[in-house]
Amino acid sequence: MKKITINDLLTWKQEGRKFASVTAYDASFAQLFEQQNMPVMLVGDSLGMVLQGRNDTLPVTIDDIAYHTRSVRAGSPNSLLMADMPFMTFATPAQACENAAKLMRAGANMVKIEGGAWVAETISTLTQRAVPVCAHLGLTPQSVNIFGGYKVQGRNLDQAETMVNDAITLAQAGAQIIVLECVPASLAERITKAVDVPVIGIGAGNATDGQILVMHDMFGISANYMPKFSKNFLAETGDMRAAVTKYIEDVESGAFPGSQHTFE
């Protein structure tokens, strides 16, 4: 696989070519994913749940993410590699700079930050200092204690308007990718059209520019349960490499996510 950059994703958005991405936490899977031409990988703070067996992502530290980012980069030299900024590691722009530097030094190409318009200042601070940022809107799992559970976001009109405006604000602040998690498909489509940057969805319907899955969900081996929006591609193919290829093909063709994986 040739080296993938943000410019490739922008071109694909402009050409209407959908792309897949997946979480990765170690060198072996990262290498397998790269061999199947997975263009984008994320060292997600979901590792708190799928690797550490916690109930939420709040215990994950910047050193946890840096450790796994080094591993993934070792296995995948060419993917566009994003790394999550964990809970409370970007409470202020200064803190965000210090912590983002650890992830960039570990091999990330971009950091991902959960939050609405309030993170705009942090995003512009980071991008001005050469740290590309992906903004994460909708069901932002670090806010589980504010939401009172893992619930679809943006279902009422006010919430939807706020999310559209937040996406525009964060793109203007310099965010180069937007991730939307667990939002109604029609809202995700609206946001995808409202911003020039690539939008990657998870539980956000199939009108976004790209899709992402937690790798354990893609293989159907998550410790707890299978979210409605995920699909076990290993069950369908019986082989890990074939499962990854099938996921990529189904995203590119628009077959995944189907209506059974989508919220309305």
Q: List the catalytic residues.
A: 181
Residue 93: asked if its preceding bond is cis (omega within 30°), the reply is: no
Q: DSSP of 210-237, one letter per residue?
A: EEEE-HHHHTT--SS---TT---HHHHH
Query: For residue 25, what are the contacts with CB-CB under 8 A and spacing of at least 6?
Result: 43, 47, 50, 51, 68, 71, 72, 215
Q: Is 114 annotated as a binding residue?
A: yes
Is residue 20 at the binding interface for ligand KIV, with CB under 6 A as the rule? no
User: What's the min distance (Å) between Cβ of 261 and Na ion?
Assistant: 19
Q: Is 158 annotated as a binding residue?
A: no
Q: Is 112 annotated as a binding residue?
A: yes
Residue from 111, 182, 183, 202 in contact with ligand KIV (CB under 6 A): 202
Residue that has been written with the tokens 């109604």 in this structure: 184
User: What's the min distance (Å) between Cβ of 45 and ligand KIV?
Assistant: 5
Is residue 84 at the binding interface for ligand KIV, with CB under 6 A as the rule? yes
* Range 212-249 burial, b when 16+ CB lie within 10 A, else e: bbbbbbbbeebeeeebebbbebbeeeeebeebbbbbbe
**Residues pairing with 211 in the sheet:** 20, 201
Q: Is 259 annotated as a binding residue?
A: no
User: What's the min distance (Å) between Cβ of 241 and ligand KIV?
Assistant: 21
Size of the site for Na ion (CB under 5 A): 3
Judged by beta carbon distances under 5 to 8 A according to partner kind, the member of ligand KIV, Na ion, none in contact with residue 111 is none
Is residue 212 at the binding interface for ligand KIV, with CB under 6 A as the rule? yes
Q: What is the DSSP letter of 3?
A: P
* Range 33-56 burial, b when 16+ CB lie within 10 A, else e: bbebebbbbbbbbbbbbbbeeeee
Q: Is 46 annotated as a binding residue?
A: yes
Residue from 39, 44, 138, 205 in contact with ligand KIV (CB under 6 A): 44
Residue from 62, 134, 182, 214 in contact with ligand KIV (CB under 6 A): 214
Distance CA 115, CA 216 (A): 25
Judged by beta carbon distances under 5 to 8 A according to partner kind, the member of ligand KIV, Na ion, none in contact with residue 214 is ligand KIV
x/- contact string, 103-142, with ligand KIV (CB under 6 A)? Answer: ----------------------------------------
Pick from 196, 198, 161: which is nearest to 180 by CA? 198
Is residue 34 at the binding interface for ligand KIV, with CB under 6 A as the rule? no
Distance CA 190, CA 213 (A): 21
Residue from 13, 19, 20, 23 in contact with ligand KIV (CB under 6 A): 23
Return binding residues for 3-methyl-2-oxobutanoate: 45-46, 84, 112
Interface residues with ligand KIV (CB under 6 A)?
A: 23, 42, 44-46, 84, 179, 181, 202, 212, 214
